[in-house]
Amino acid sequence: MKPRPFDYVRPDTADEAVALLAEHGDEARVLAGGQSLMAMMNLRLADPGMLIDISRIEGLEGIRDLGEKIEVGAAVTQNKLLAWPDLSKKLPLLAAALPFVGHFQTRNKGTVCGSVAHADPSSEISLSLATLQGEVVLRSKQRGERVLAAKDFQLDMLTTAREADELIVAVRFPVHAGRGVAFREVARRQGDFAMVAVAAFIEDKGHLRLGIGGMAGTPVVQRMAIGGMTDAIETIASGLEGYEDLHASAELRRDILRNLAPLVIAEAQKCAA
Amino acid sequence: MRRVNKDQKVRISLTLNGRKMSAETEPRMLLSDFLRHSLGATGTHVGCEHGVCGCCTVQIDGTAVRSCLTLAMQAEDRAVTTVESLAGPGGTLNKLQQAFRNHHALQCGFCTPGILMSFTDFLARNPKPTEEELRDVLGGHICRCTGYAGIMAALKEAAGLTNTNEPTGAKS
Amino acid sequence: MSKRLGTSVARKEDPALLSGHGRYADDLPVPAGTLHAHVIRSPHPHADIVSIDAAEALAKDGVWAVITGDDVRKISDPFLVALKAPIHQWSLAVERVRFVGEPVALVVAENRYLAEDAAELVQIEYTPLEAIIDPVAACKPSAPILHAEANTNEVSVRKFQYGDTKSAFEKADKVVKLTVDFHRLSFTPMECFVAVASYNPANDSYDCMANFQGPFSTHPVMARALRVPGPKMRLRIPPDSGGSFGIKLSVFPYVVLAALASKITGRPVKWVEDRAEHLLAASSGPNRVTEIEAAVTKDGKILGLRMDQLEDYGAFLRAPMPGPLYRMHGAVTGGYDVANIDVINRVVLTNKMPASLIRGFGGPQLYLALERLVQRIAIELGLDHLDVIRRNLVPPEKFPYHAAAGSLYDSGDYPRAVETAIGGGRLDHLKKRRDEARKAGRKYGIGFAVVVEPAMSNMGYLSTLLTPEARDKAGPKNGATSMVTVNLDPLGAVSVTADVTVQGQGHETVLAQIVAEQLGLTPHDIDVTLEMDTAKDQWSIAAGTYSCRFTPGTAVAAHMAAGQIAAKLKGIAAKQLNVLPDDVELVGGKIRSRSNPDNAVSFSRIAGTSHWSPVMLPDGMAPVISETGVWNPPELAPPSGDDRINTSFTYGFVFDMCGIEIDPVTYQVKVDRYVSMHDAGKILNPMIADGQICGAFAQGIAAALYEEFVTNEEGAFLTGTFADYLVPTVSEIPPVELLHMESPSPFTPLGAKGLAEGNCMSVPACIANAIADALGVKDVQLPATPRRIHALMAQHGGVR
Ligand code: FES
Ligand code: FES
**How many CB atoms neighbour CB C149 within 10 A?**
9
Per-residue pLDDT tens for A122-171? 999 999 999 999 999 999 999 999 999 999 999 999 999 999 999 999 99
- The answer to whether residue B172 is domain-embedded is no
Let me know whether C744 and C627 are in one domain. Answer: no
Let me know whether B153 and B100 are in one domain. Answer: yes
In chain C, what residues touch A195 (CB-CB under 8 Å)? 786
Let me know whether B58 and B27 are in one domain. Answer: yes
Which pLDDT score, from 0 to 100, does residue C1 have? 39
Domain limits for position B68: 10-83
Instruction: Nearest chain A residue to C116 by CA: give it.
Output: A2
- The answer to whether residue A2 is domain-embedded is no
| Among B3, B30, B139, beta carbon nearest to A103 | B139
Measured CA to CA, the distance from residue A39 to residue C98 in angstroms comes to 29
Let me know whether B79 and B14 are in one domain. Answer: yes
Measured CA to CA, the distance from residue C643 to residue C649 in angstroms comes to 17
**CATH number of the domain that A143 lies in?**
3.30.465.10
Torsion sign, CA atoms C491, C5, C761, C547: positive
Let me know whether B105 and B147 are in one domain. Answer: yes
Measured CA to CA, the distance from residue A162 to residue C78 in angstroms comes to 55
Dihedral class, residue C620 (left if φ above 0, else alpha if ψ from -120 to 50, else beta): left
Rounded-to-10 torsion of CA C277, C281, C283, C285: 120
Chain B 52-91, residues with CB within 8 Å of chain A CB atoms: 54, 57, 63-66, 68-71, 73-74
A39–B50 CB contact, under 8 Å: yes
- The answer to whether residue B46 is domain-embedded is yes
- The answer to whether residue A58 is domain-embedded is no
Let me know whether C257 and C222 are in one domain. Answer: yes
Q: Say if residue B6 is exposed, middle or buried (CB neighbours under 10 Å; 0-12, 13-18, 19+).
A: middle
Measured CA to CA, the distance from residue A222 to residue A229 in angstroms comes to 10
Per the CB < 8 A criterion, the answer to whether C748 and C552 are in contact is: yes
Compute φ and ψ for C651, nearest 5 degrees.
Answer: -135, 105
Total of domains in chain B? 2
Instruction: Nearest chain B residue to A39 by CA: give it.
Output: B50
- The answer to whether residue B35 is domain-embedded is yes
Write out residues with Cβ below 6 Å of ligand 2. B 106-112, 143-146; C 190, 243, 504
Give the residue, out of C11, C13, C18, C190, with the most ligand 2 atoms within 8 A of its beta carbon, to mutate for a pocket test. C190
Per the CB < 8 A criterion, the answer to whether B101 and C14 are in contact is: yes
| Whether residue B170 has pLDDT greater than 80 | no
Domain limits for position C728: 361-457+649-795
Per-residue pLDDT tens for C402-423? 999 999 999 999 999 999 999 9
Give the residue, out of B112, B116, B138, B155, with the most ligand 2 atoms within 8 A of its beta carbon, to mutate for a pocket test. B112
C9–B108 CB contact, under 8 Å: no
A38–B6 CB contact, under 8 Å: no
Which pLDDT score, from 0 to 100, does residue B164 have? 55
Going by CA atoms, what residue is nearest to atom 2 of ligand 2? B108
> Of B83, B99, B123, at which residue does a domain stop?
B83
Q: Say if residue C746 is exposed, middle or buried (CB neighbours under 10 Å; 0-12, 13-18, 19+).
A: exposed
Let me know whether A69 and A115 are in one domain. Answer: yes
Helices then strands, counting H and E runs in chain A, come out as 11, 14
In chain B, what residues touch A55 (CB-CB under 8 Å)? 74
**How many CB atoms neighbour CB C338 within 10 A?**
26
Among the bound ligands, name the one nearest to the CA of residue B30.
Answer: 1
Q: In what order do the strands lie in the sheet with B2-4?
A: A28-31, A50-53, A7-10, B2-4
**CATH number of the domain that C57 lies in?**
3.90.1170.50
Per-residue pLDDT tens for C75-121? 999 999 988 888 999 999 999 999 999 999 999 999 999 999 999 99
Let me know whether B73 and B111 are in one domain. Answer: no
Task: Give C276 to chain B, closest Cα distance, Å.
Answer: 8
Q: Is B7 on the interface with A (CB under 8 A)?
A: yes
Q: Is C734 on the interface with B (CB under 8 A)?
A: no
Residue of C711, C790, C792 to mutate, interface with A, max A Cβ within 10 Å: C790
Let me know whether C679 and C573 are in one domain. Answer: no
Measured CA to CA, the distance from residue A103 to residue C600 in angstroms comes to 61
Which pLDDT score, from 0 to 100, does residue B167 have? 44
Instruction: Nearest chain C residue to A40 by CA: give it.
Output: C721
| Whether residue B163 has pLDDT greater than 90 | no
> Residue C144: which of C269, C46, C231 has the closest Cα?
C46
Per the CB < 8 A criterion, the answer to whether B55 and B113 are in contact is: yes
**CATH number of the domain that A18 lies in?**
3.30.43.10
- The answer to whether residue C179 is domain-embedded is no
Which pLDDT score, from 0 to 100, does residue B172 have? 39
> Of C631, C660, C682, at which residue does a domain stop?
C631
Sequence-separated (6 or more) residues with CB below 8 Å from residue A249: C787, C790, C791
Per-residue pLDDT tens for A166-209? 999 999 999 999 999 999 999 999 999 999 999 999 999 999 99
- The answer to whether residue A17 is domain-embedded is yes
Let me know whether A198 and A218 are in one domain. Answer: yes
- The answer to whether residue C68 is domain-embedded is yes
Distance from first CA to last CA of chain A, Å, rounded?
52
Domain limits for position A126: 63-174
Among the bound ligands, name the one nearest to the CA of residue C276.
Answer: 1
Compute φ and ψ for C236, nearest 5 degrees.
Answer: -110, 145
Pure H helices in chain A: 14-24, 37-42, 78-82, 87-90, 92-97, 104-107, 112-118, 124-131, 150-153, 229-239, 250-272
> Residue C699: which of C255, C272, C200, C185 has the closest Cα?
C185
Let me know whether C488 and C571 are in one domain. Answer: yes
CA C757 to chain centre: 8
Sequence-separated (6 or more) residues with CB below 8 Å from residue A188: A195, A247, C706, C726, C785, C786
Measured CA to CA, the distance from residue C494 to residue C484 in angstroms comes to 13
The pLDDT of C345-364, averaged and rounded, is 97
In chain B, what residues touch A114 (CB-CB under 8 Å)? none
| Whether residue B169 has pLDDT greater than 80 | no
> How many Cα atoms sit within 13 Å of C638 on the Cβ side?
12
Per the CB < 8 A criterion, the answer to whether C594 and C584 are in contact is: yes
Let me know whether C595 and C499 are in one domain. Answer: yes
Let me know whether A161 and A199 are in one domain. Answer: no
Residues facing C19 on adjacent strands: none
Angle at C266 between CA C260 and CA C271, to 5 degrees: 50
Let me know whether A164 and A227 are in one domain. Answer: no
- The answer to whether residue C198 is domain-embedded is yes
What proportions of chain B, in percent to the nearest 5, are helix, strand and coil? 35, 20, 45
Element spanning C692, H or E? helix C686-701
- Ligand 1 atom showing the smallest separation from residue C722 Cα: 4
| Whether residue C438 has pLDDT greater than 80 | yes
Per-residue pLDDT tens for B131-143? 999 999 999 999 9
Let me know whether A78 and A161 are in one domain. Answer: yes
- Ligand 2 atom showing the smallest separation from residue C504 Cα: 2
Sequence-separated (6 or more) residues with CB below 8 Å from residue C50: C125, C126, C127
- The answer to whether residue C781 is domain-embedded is yes
CA of B146 to the centre of ligand 2 (A): 6
Least confident residue range of A101-115, B154-168, C228-242, C665-679: B154-168
- Residue C783 preceded by cis peptide, ω within 30: yes
The pLDDT of C35-46, averaged and rounded, is 98
Angle at C176 between CA C430 and CA C774, to 5 degrees: 25
The pLDDT of C212-220, averaged and rounded, is 96
Q: How far is CA C638 from CA C82, C319, C463, C753, in A?
A: 16, 19, 8, 21
Which pLDDT score, from 0 to 100, does residue C138 have? 98
Which pLDDT score, from 0 to 100, does residue A244 have? 87
Let me know whether B16 and B76 are in one domain. Answer: yes
Let me know whether A156 and A185 are in one domain. Answer: no
Task: Give A146 to chain C, closest Cα distance, Å.
Answer: 35
Coil, strand or helix at C351: coil
Among the bound ligands, name the one nearest to the CA of residue B104.
Answer: 2
In chain B, what residues touch A34 (CB-CB under 8 Å)? 69-71, 74
Q: Say if residue C796 is exposed, middle or buried (CB neighbours under 10 Å; 0-12, 13-18, 19+).
A: exposed
Which pLDDT score, from 0 to 100, does residue A273 have? 75
Measured CA to CA, the distance from residue C381 to residue C361 in angstroms comes to 32
Total of domains in chain C? 3
The mean predicted confidence, pLDDT, of chain B is 95
B3–A34 CB contact, under 8 Å: no
- The answer to whether residue A1 is domain-embedded is no
Measured CA to CA, the distance from residue C35 to residue C267 in angstroms comes to 7
Sequence-separated (6 or more) residues with CB below 8 Å from residue C680: C453, C551, C652, C689, C740, C742, C752, C753, C754, C755, C758
Length of chain B: 172
Total of domains in chain A? 3
| Rg from Cα positions in chain A | 18
Rounded-to-10 torsion of CA A19, A23, A27, A31: -10
**Residue-wise DSSP of A189-209:** STTSPPSEEEEEEE-SSSEEE
**CATH number of the domain that B25 lies in?**
3.10.20.30
Split at pLDDT 50, 70, 90, the class of C797 is: confident
Measured CA to CA, the distance from residue C237 to residue C234 in angstroms comes to 10
Which pLDDT score, from 0 to 100, does residue B162 have? 87
> Residue B80: which of B65, B68, B69 has the closest Cα?
B65
Which pLDDT score, from 0 to 100, does residue C470 have? 94
- Ligand 1 atom showing the smallest separation from residue B66 Cα: 2
Per the CB < 8 A criterion, the answer to whether B2 and B25 are in contact is: no
Let me know whether B74 and B97 are in one domain. Answer: no
Distance from first CA to last CA of chain B, Å, rounded?
56
> Residue C12: which of C725, C511, C482 has the closest Cα?
C511
- pTM of the shown model: 0.97
The pLDDT of C319-326, averaged and rounded, is 94
Q: Is A244 on the interface with C (CB under 8 A)?
A: no
Let me know whether A203 and A246 are in one domain. Answer: yes
Q: Say if residue A207 is exposed, middle or buried (CB neighbours under 10 Å; 0-12, 13-18, 19+).
A: middle
A5–B50 CB contact, under 8 Å: no
> Residue C287: which of C396, C136, C89 has the closest Cα?
C136
- Residue C322 preceded by cis peptide, ω within 30: yes
Measured CA to CA, the distance from residue A140 to residue C370 in angstroms comes to 67
Let me know whether C124 and C265 are in one domain. Answer: yes
> Of C598, C631, C664, at which residue does a domain stop?
C631
| Whether residue C236 has pLDDT greater than 90 | yes
